[in-house]
Chains A and B, each alone.
Chain A
């Protein structure tokens, strides 16, 4: 296989909360009865402490697996249109969280809904040119939509991860074609929070139905394939039946059109092409051809062919596993509050200044963003944070600690509380002493839990999350939190707390 460029691994992340669309349309029926028909299924909904960056990190960790040696990753391409920072390398935050090497290229690719597919194309081109041996491609989006808009029903939050290289190729790259056209179906000004959308019928007729076929035909030509060769046709689109119409126009049989996950996820924006690609890879058999196209300022179309190495990805959560790990949410007000769409009374305790000392952050970068502590080379004692003098009471050795990564370690809860007094975006705030297999402990926040769920001894894993938001300065703090280890099969859940402990 060596020499042939393609996808080498996959990962995915869809937030656990699934907002029931009926809850949205019911709440808004008085003002928007026209949207009642959209009140079906569910959309993924990021917890208050999840954003584009945290979801991308989780998708990447799924791809990279439990081995915390990440020295093989030599490039990072991050596609999104909802990056938390306009000027601070968002991929740099992700890179630090993943403890990637410093000597890599990392870029944000943005400003279009095809940022995800374009990021993948950039990685493929770099690999082809020999500039990257093992490039990590992440696409993530958490798009903000106005209350009572069709978009809040159509959108979902999520992320996908793919790696590109020439070893263990699970899907060969056969060809691609891009079109750049300033077709403005929607736009979001540099300082605007929300999209401005043009008429859907025009977007369908002049946009998707004319631009996508050109991109797809170009890709087929480069790959030396016919439309009928395609086994999986991926085209994210929130307009009804458009992918089917495009497929028909191209001569791709209707049954080859992939489910766009509208019913159980919603459209994850710039991530959705890759979200659907990961989903397709998880369902495909070896030797199948997958075409992924994404629309936005023109279009990208890429074609892959799966190999018999595909089964090496069976242990990844991907999109399939993420969709199965769900918690129904019926509280539309919570969605509005999490997304900053409601001016709510947070109380005086929320007034504390969240100004972040950037010097402190940088000095402790691997600790805060990478969850890296220390291990004593003399005694093997593991601790967090790292310190010049070891915490080991039997041997407080000096200057013996080497970096030790905690993020992928198994852990459990020693003590905990659910705190109703402290300010939290989702009270009560759970936190406790987390004890790691192999040593070390961290007193830290616990997230994605409801009252009654947490107990001492519960197994937890680490997730990268938003710690605090400095609204005054537009800064975000990130750190790690504990979440219960749940079986990915736990699909059924009530809107309220399930009260069930994690396995």
Chain B
């Protein structure tokens, strides 16, 4: 195991745009919105930025390829801008790039900014992406909900859970996130829902109904990172530092080798183990204060509770139904509403998760503030259960 980056990098400032159907706002304005908040929070001038990492997933619908969209929108002082793309985990990748640049000493202050402008397609749901030349000739004609719904059938088969029981548990996941999102002024969806609403919503991909699917939103989020020393020299207090950043990428085992049973994320378990090791966490169920996971679909969140080793294998349904992950529970999950209700502008999502952890750790989360959180975990996934990239990052107060 490498030496790791625990406490080598601190967050200097963060920003996040309002997420939602931003009909009157283009990707450039979304970037500016997140950037200005982060710069104000950091208290620095553009000339103090040494380098930037820019994440956006779908370049076909407007934002564009390369590093130029960010540099143009923010009028950056001709610094290095690297565009990163790693499916829905792109935002975490931007942060990883900036963090590693600072940890290496190549940059004193670095910017990570992610954006996605999804509501320019003319239809609901995620845009149909360009699948290349080979995949469309054999891969199923599917969609994100259909791919993630696979988890439900495999999880039921593995653990012998009745269809209705799993459906109720994933309904609870969404009911909880709507309750949390209703308290977040920047969230896309701010309405509370009942379990009956979730259970009886129109079917999208068996067994996922409308309320089992996250919002498809426009938005941007940004982080400015530096070393703890520089942050302190600038007079920053209650530093939030990076404890771990791990990424695990599928190599085809899940989709081509019969050792995977389809009910969990192979990569998430690897990334989680490495992240806990890097952060020095031995008992995540007790040591982690709160988590922001990639709840693109309710079933994803449910199985992720086990992949992060917070719920025991086969125990997520019980924990969810017991309220373990509710805002009043032992390990609140999606306290900001999650992808489900805060929204999911793909390139921004990983940074949005970090944004909430940062606010909570600094005691600035307003109506949804938790009591004395010390360690926060973000889990940011891209791809599909059978082929994906999974980022697990841990942040916390300095010295914890």
Binding site for B on A (CB under 8 A): 347-349, 351-352, 354, 356-357, 359-361, 364, 367-368, 381, 383-385, 387, 391-393, 413-424, 428-429, 431-433, 435, 439-441, 443-445, 451, 455-457, 467-468, 477, 479
A441/B206 contact (C-beta < 8 A), A417-B146, A419-B149, A468-B141 known: no
In the complex, the answer to whether B137 meets A477 with C-beta atoms within 8 Å is yes
In the complex, the answer to whether B150 meets A416 with C-beta atoms within 8 Å is yes
Give the distance in Å from the alpha carbon of A456 to the alpha carbon of B154 in the complex.
Answer: 7
Considering only residues 137-173 of chain B, those with a C-beta below 8 Å from chain A are 137-143, 145-147, 149-154, 156-157
A421/B256 contact (C-beta < 8 A), A428-B206, A456-B157 known: no
Indicate with 1 or 0, residue by residue over B197-213, a CB within 8 angstroms of chain A CB atoms. Answer: 00000111110100000
> How many B residues touch A, CB cutoff 8 Å?
44
**Quick check: is B252 within 8 A (CB to CB) of the other chain?**
yes
Give the distance in Å from the alpha carbon of A424 to the alpha carbon of B146 in the complex.
Answer: 13
In the complex, the answer to whether B255 meets A441 with C-beta atoms within 8 Å is yes
In the assembled complex, 12 residue pairs joining A and B whose CB atoms fall closer than 8 Å, in A order, are A385-B256, A393-B257, A413-B153, A415-B151, A416-B153, A421-B204, A421-B205, A428-B206, A429-B140, A429-B141, A432-B153, A457-B157
A414/B146 contact (C-beta < 8 A), A354-B136, A364-B134, A477-B137 known: no
Give the segment of B182-190, B258-266, B273-281, B308-316 that binds chain A: B258-266
In the complex, the answer to whether B138 meets A414 with C-beta atoms within 8 Å is no
Q: How far in angstroms is the closest Cβ of chain A from B136?
A: 7
In the complex, the answer to whether B141 meets A417 with C-beta atoms within 8 Å is no
Chain A residue numbers with a CB within 8 Å of B203 are 418, 420, 428
Chain B residue numbers with a CB within 8 Å of A413 are 153
- B213 to chain A: closest residue by CB: A421
Give the distance in Å from the alpha carbon of A357 to the alpha carbon of B130 in the complex.
Answer: 13
Cross-chain pair count, CB within 8 angstroms: 145
Indicate with 1 or 0, residue by residue over B242-264, a CB within 8 angstroms of chain A CB atoms. Answer: 00000000011101111101110
In the complex, the answer to whether A443 meets B139 with C-beta atoms within 8 Å is yes
Give the segment of B12-20, B120-128, B317-325, B362-370 that binds chain A: B120-128
**Which residue of B136, B146, B154 contacts A421 across the interface (Cβ within 8 Å)?**
B146
In the complex, the answer to whether A456 meets B153 with C-beta atoms within 8 Å is yes
Chain B residue numbers with a CB within 8 Å of A381 are 257
Can you name 9 extra interface pairs (CB under 8 A) apart from A356-B133, A440-B256, A441-B256? A367-B138, A383-B256, A385-B138, A415-B153, A419-B143, A420-B202, A420-B203, A431-B142, A444-B139
- B156 to chain A: closest residue by CB: A456
Q: How far in angstroms is the closest Cβ of chain A from B255?
A: 6
A443/B140 contact (C-beta < 8 A), A417-B150, A417-B153 known: yes
**Quick check: is B177 within 8 A (CB to CB) of the other chain?**
no
**Which residue of A349, A367, A418, A435 contacts B206 across the interface (Cβ within 8 Å)?**
A418
Give the distance in Å from the alpha carbon of A420 to the alpha carbon of B255 in the complex.
Answer: 23
Give the distance in Å from the alpha carbon of A433 to the alpha carbon of B138 in the complex.
Answer: 13
Binding site for A on B (CB under 8 A): 121-123, 125, 128, 133-134, 136-143, 145-147, 149-154, 156-157, 202-206, 208, 251-253, 255-259, 261-263, 386
Chain A residue numbers with a CB within 8 Å of B259 are 393
Give the 4 A-B residue pairs with the shortest CB-CB distance, closest first. A419-B146, A431-B140, A417-B149, A357-B133
In the complex, the answer to whether A422 meets B151 with C-beta atoms within 8 Å is no
**Which residue of A417, A435, A467 contacts B138 across the interface (Cβ within 8 Å)?**
A467
Chain A residue numbers with a CB within 8 Å of B157 are 414-415, 456-457
In the complex, the answer to whether A428 meets B205 with C-beta atoms within 8 Å is yes
In the complex, the answer to whether A360 meets B138 with C-beta atoms within 8 Å is no
In the complex, the answer to whether B154 meets A417 with C-beta atoms within 8 Å is no
In the complex, the answer to whether A349 meets B123 with C-beta atoms within 8 Å is yes
Give the distance in Å from the alpha carbon of A364 to the alpha carbon of B208 in the complex.
Answer: 35
In the complex, the answer to whether A429 meets B142 with C-beta atoms within 8 Å is yes
In the complex, the answer to whether B140 meets A440 with C-beta atoms within 8 Å is no
**Which residue of B133, B150, B206, B252 contacts A433 across the interface (Cβ within 8 Å)?**
B150
In the complex, the answer to whether B153 meets A364 with C-beta atoms within 8 Å is no
Q: How far in angstroms is the closest Cβ of chain A from B269?
A: 14
Chain B residue numbers with a CB within 8 Å of A356 are 133, 136-137
In the complex, the answer to whether B140 meets A444 with C-beta atoms within 8 Å is yes
A445/B251 contact (C-beta < 8 A), A349-B123, A419-B146, A456-B153 known: no
In the complex, the answer to whether B141 meets A360 with C-beta atoms within 8 Å is no
In the complex, the answer to whether B136 meets A468 with C-beta atoms within 8 Å is yes
Chain A residue numbers with a CB within 8 Å of B123 are 347-349
In the complex, the answer to whether A392 meets B257 with C-beta atoms within 8 Å is yes
Q: How far in angstroms is the closest Cβ of chain A from B273?
A: 16
Chain B residue numbers with a CB within 8 Å of A439 are 258
Chain B residue numbers with a CB within 8 Å of A440 are 256, 258
Chain A residue numbers with a CB within 8 Å of B134 are 357, 360, 364
**Which residue of B128, B145, B147, B258 contacts A349 across the interface (Cβ within 8 Å)?**
B128
Question: In the complex, which of the residues B128, B134, B205, B256 has the most CB atoms of chain A within 10 Å of its own CB atom?
Answer: B256
Q: How far in angstroms is the closest Cβ of chain B from A23?
A: 27
Chain B residue numbers with a CB within 8 Å of A414 are 154, 157, 261-262
In the complex, the answer to whether B258 meets A422 with C-beta atoms within 8 Å is no
In the complex, the answer to whether A443 meets B255 with C-beta atoms within 8 Å is yes
In the complex, the answer to whether A445 meets B206 with C-beta atoms within 8 Å is no
In the complex, the answer to whether B142 meets A415 with C-beta atoms within 8 Å is no
In the complex, the answer to whether A348 meets B122 with C-beta atoms within 8 Å is yes
Give the distance in Å from the alpha carbon of A361 to the alpha carbon of B134 in the complex.
Answer: 7
Give the distance in Å from the alpha carbon of A418 to the alpha carbon of B262 in the complex.
Answer: 16
